[in-house]
Structure 1
């Protein structure tokens, strides 16, 4: 008497609940040996080769290549060999897969499977569907030729650039978007498309900061170093990140990881002749205020002279933009996050504003803080606490020294 045993998608570990069927190694109605590979499944974590738990014949498959199998749901049926001395009982989960043991076998086959179908993890496929992209048109750069999240970003940027016909008039002047301008345009488009922004604003009294900066400025003048407010803002941001490290992070959507960065690599948005650039002051968490003053002065001079190296403009983990240095009376902004960071701060110039102090209206030096945050990582209450801590350091700046 024949006995049908249904094999379900096993527990592959690490919270994986689904996987894409890439290839059926064995065809229907073919004989299976115990532990013989039957099907290749790709999850967000790995590509695995699933073996037959018992000998028999493959009589039914529940998913075609490209379809998503669910953990614990039927994957295929085996007609068990009559020679089995003890027939197994059906269980909810028949096998636990040891990833390190099976992944090596799958790697040799993954590049040639799926008969020309674009390879990608389920998470990557979802992102492509949300953007309306055809994965078969995207060149994969993964180790086995699979399409990655980075491939989707590049393809999306290029497709967006070509999607809308330009508004053209006979006397228009054409300027090519190249170099830094092109790079910044791509990063801003990526940021707005992939990061759900939300903004938070706070006004802070800066009377003590103005006095402290004047004192430091006079001392630094002896060494012919010009001291702006930016080193103080940078130092305050680093001290705040030590209390709230989540704000010094970035999300990796392809594998659903949140990467919290240890170094405080603070990007400073600067307007140059070549366009808007983000110069990066690295490992600020290891610097004193005096060291930040000198390092920032050197970085700014390189930017003004267009002598920034590629290393000066990469690996930032959070960014500050000081629109106050541009003049004018702008009070607030909604800055675009420097992709793939979690936050950006834009500050106004320090100016006199009426504040209520002990029941009386007084003119005080104030600084306006405009934040943008990645809402996938940061909630409103967290943003308020983070901004308040930063504002406290601006209002009472003694810890900056």
Structure 2
């Protein structure tokens, strides 16, 4: 098992490599949730996530022969970058196995940190199996992403930092994939402040730890279905499973919609870029999953290595939900000037056209007419009502989808 002394030792080891990340109070998220919300920003950590902590501590403890032979890891992205960077710092060769659907940005970043990348399997667990086989065949040390005492101790250094930054912390909300992060943090904080609540959060479509704890045995998931690829793990580790049962007070889940909303609010209200796995903790706080009010609550933003395409989708979805973007469908005469008149009006009202689509050949479009689909950036509900009133006044057949 892992002890507080192990975590304290790790804190000294990684001190020159890992940053002591900020703990920031959020007035906005406090108001929304009814708690005093603080964000522990591991998205600002070296390599963009907390993973450098555990990876460096594990590789530091290798003997000289193990360092000479090199290390192997499997990861959906963040552990890969942590191992690659830590290995490079210590002059150790690293080979990383990643699922074939890993976001390209994470693959490129891992290579840039000095690792050899091998794409294998459609999920983390399949990449994991390939990595184990490769390590055994080539006499290399496998660096487990979560089920390893040194890795857990390294991640636990976040718990020490949180206590140093907020001694009267009441609860800490932590993402769960395999469970290494929450295990380390829980061990540290329960030693420093026995009454602190540790709450773990999984994606609804990847709740392997929650189901396992509820059934008191490790339950492998058959399928994973979540945008939070960084915590999409089918099978918890035996060590982390036992530690979670001992130290974690509550396990909850959040939907992809809730994760997306949390990412949007972090970006627009907090100016913080978080990946889906990194935003699940705040999603749990904002959507009242933690069952607390008027408490000092820390939400761990565990990483910011988000796929840019997904981030764009999250931003657009958030704009639609806040009535800052809307879809306007028109049926107008298919002749010069018909659309120009409408676009001129929108320009005068400071409404920006994001996309335009034109259809002429569908059966439900009368001859000589065209269907125009406009995605427009608006100033909110009042702006949408003005557009609706104008189109009605001009006898333009239309529908606004909010």
| More helix, by proportion | 2
- TM-score (normalizing by structure 2): 0.26
| More strand, by proportion | 1
- More contact order relative to length (CA 8 Å, sep ≥ 6): 2
Higher Rg: 1
- TM-score (normalizing by structure 1): 0.26
